[in-house]
Amino acid sequence: MPYLLEVQPYDPAIGGTRTLYFSDTGFVTEPGDAPANTYYRRFLDIPLAESRSLGTGTSIGGYSTPASGTITLANDNGQLDGLAAYSWEGRPYRLLWSTKAKPALADFTQLRAGVIDQVVVGNDCQIQTLDRSALFDVSALPYTFAGTGGVEGTADMKGRYKPRCLGQPPQFTPILVDAANLTYLIDPDGYSSVFDLRDGGKPLPSSKGDFATYAALIAADLTGYDYATCKALGLVRLRVATSSDFTLSCKGVAPGGTWISSFADLVKFLLTTSAGLTTADLDLARFAAFNTLQPAPLEYWADGGSQVTVRSIIDELADTVGAFWGFGLNNLMQLGRYDPPKTVADYSFTERQIVELTPQPAARRLRNIRLSYEHHYTRLTTATLIAAATPAADQPRLLADMLWTDPKTNASVAAACLLYYDADVQTHFVNKTDAEAERDRRSALYGNAAMPFTVTVPLTQGLDVGCTVRLTSPRYMLSGGRNFTVITVDGGGNDETMKLTVRG
């Protein structure tokens, strides 16, 4: 099958990018094409050998790793030695293919797109590729303190990251920026509301309203244990200094005036405010579907004392809801969740199409699992708790690092298996009921007996991790067909096959 490759390195000689065109068989576009009258030089040796996975290491979902691969250009005669003069890091590439023997440009479709990690120029030029999630190792905290006073903090705060409040974090201490006026910063992009303000556990019940500006906030007439807010600037002000740890809970950022708390909405916010993406880079249908699948409110608080990356926050939130995330084959950011195979398969392969089918060892089954929720970023101790002024019913919760669901036992594992594993999973769920629902889902998913295989099938456009495939074979009790979820994909190269790891 013919392949076309387009790459866009930075060329220092012209102070900008240039597009280079390669093919495996030689290809020239027509005058009416875009690009017109362009020769795709015949240097493409191995179109793409790539690995994609639902997670990282042996885990499924949660922590991510960019899909990586290699495109090989032939360079026996040194005609491509000049590629070493270009800068390639993070530059885009696009690989197209056609099933026709003699295609026109319009017959090609995009097989893969992403960014280039580096190019190693030798007798073979190795173009090492990544998907665009490699660009997300950037700070999720876009602002720093100027150290000039007021909301910009004191001189010793200059250069410190400003905090970030996502979803509904409970029991944390905001950052004191104006000690003279007892004014604290929660998030410079503002927040929706604050509640459960406490001094060492003692409730601070009296709010004097919200003010539009910093000047109006500090000019407000407060008495006693009054507090006031400036939601637009992310501020809260006290009247009296607390005698112990000041804590509050907050409904955080509200872009466009709408508070957001679901996994999909928080990911969208991070990617479009800190990672340089726009909504055009997102598979919005997949984001909307995930919001329907898992709408539970989550929380994340970063106090700005150290840098946190976009990837690290998304990974932690994804691990909470069992999600996987990354750029799909359409080069759009997508979200998904590892679940049992769908009833109707996306792709089906029979004995005639299966090149190789090999059973794999199954992981031990999950017996007991419990999940945490309501993570307390500021943990009170018996020394900092003002017990006499704190309702007795609140004290156990306030003294906890986090709260936990009861354990869930998979009865079939407990009865059948002498070797198994138990799991305590720390999450960013806000509510107990949501943590319990995810606990029960994982208990069923990882407690049930699984049949894992590696299977080699023909290169199939659109087949990716998270898809459901149906395998039919006279071996391994698959004569009637069985559906599996695709966990990893290793594919491409010259043999035009894909090796899948599947579980079902």
**Cβ proximity of 487 and 53 under 8 Å:** yes
Structure tokens at 109: 């479709």
Q: Look up the pTM and report it.
A: 0.90
Token couple for 174: 């905001």
Of the candidates 504, 499, 498, the residue with the CA atom closest to the CA atom of residue 476: 504
Quote the distance between the C-alpha of residue 218 and its chain's center: 39
Q: What are phi and psi of 149, to 5 degrees?
A: 100, 170
Amino acid identity for residue 59 in this structure = S
- Written as six digits, the tokens of 94 are 């696009």
Angle at 273 (CA atoms; ends 267, 278), nearest 5 degrees: 80
**Alpha carbon of 117 to those of 74, 84, 101, 135, 422: distances in Å?**
19, 13, 32, 10, 39
C-alpha span between 362 and 356 (Å, rounded) = 19
| Cβ atoms of 442 and 365 closer than 8 Å | no
Those residues with Cβ within 8 angstroms of residue 181's Cβ, 6 or more apart along the chain or in another chain: 218, 237
Q: Any idea what DSSP says for residue 161?
A: B
3-state secondary structure 322-387: CEEEEECCCCCEEEEECCCCCCCCCEEECCCCCCEEEECCCCCCEEEEEEEECCCCCCCCCCCCCH
Contact yes or no for 158/224 (Cβ under 8 A): no
Round to whole Å and give the CA distance between 259 and 253.
Answer: 6
Q: Which two tokens stand for residue 422?
A: 């138990």
Q: Tell me, what's the pLDDT at 181?
A: 96
Residue 160 has what DSSP assignment?
A: P
Q: Structure tokens of 224? A: 């006693």
Question: What was the pLDDT predicted at 62?
Answer: 57
How far from chain centre, in Å, is Cα 282?
12
Q: How far apart are CA 217 and CA 188, in angstroms?
A: 15
Strands (E), 134-192: 164-167, 175-178, 183-185
H helix or E strand, kind and range, residue 235:
strand 235-238
Cα 302 from Cα 191, distance rounded (Å): 14
Quick one: DSSP state of residue 504? -
Q: Describe the crossing of helices 263-274 and 284-293 by its angle, rounded to 10 degrees.
A: 150
- The answer to whether 465 and 489 have CB atoms below 8 angstroms apart is yes
pLDDT of res. 60: 64
Tens-level pLDDT at each residue, the chain (504 residues): 799 999 999 999 999 999 999 999 999 999 999 999 999 999 999 887 878 887 654 456 655 566 788 999 999 999 999 999 999 999 999 999 898 889 999 999 988 888 999 999 999 999 999 888 888 999 999 999 999 999 999 999 999 999 999 999 999 999 999 999 999 999 999 999 999 999 999 999 878 899 999 999 999 999 888 999 999 999 999 999 999 999 999 999 999 999 999 999 999 999 999 999 999 999 999 999 999 999 999 999 999 999 999 999 999 999 999 999 988 877 899 999 989 999 999 999 999 999 999 999 999 999 999 999 999 999 999 999 999 999 999 999 999 999 999 999 999 999 999 999 999 999 999 999 999 999 999 999 999 998 999 999 998 888 988 999 999 999 999 999 999 999 989 876 666 889 999 998
Per-residue buried b or exposed e for 119-143, using 16+ beta carbons within 10 Å of the residue's own CB: bebeeebbbebbbbbbbbeebbbeb
* Spatial separation of the C-alpha atoms in residues 94 and 113, rounded to whole Å: 4
Q: Which residues pair with 256 in a beta bridge?
A: none
Distances (CA, A) of 366 to 227, 396, 405, 448, 483: 48, 30, 16, 8, 22
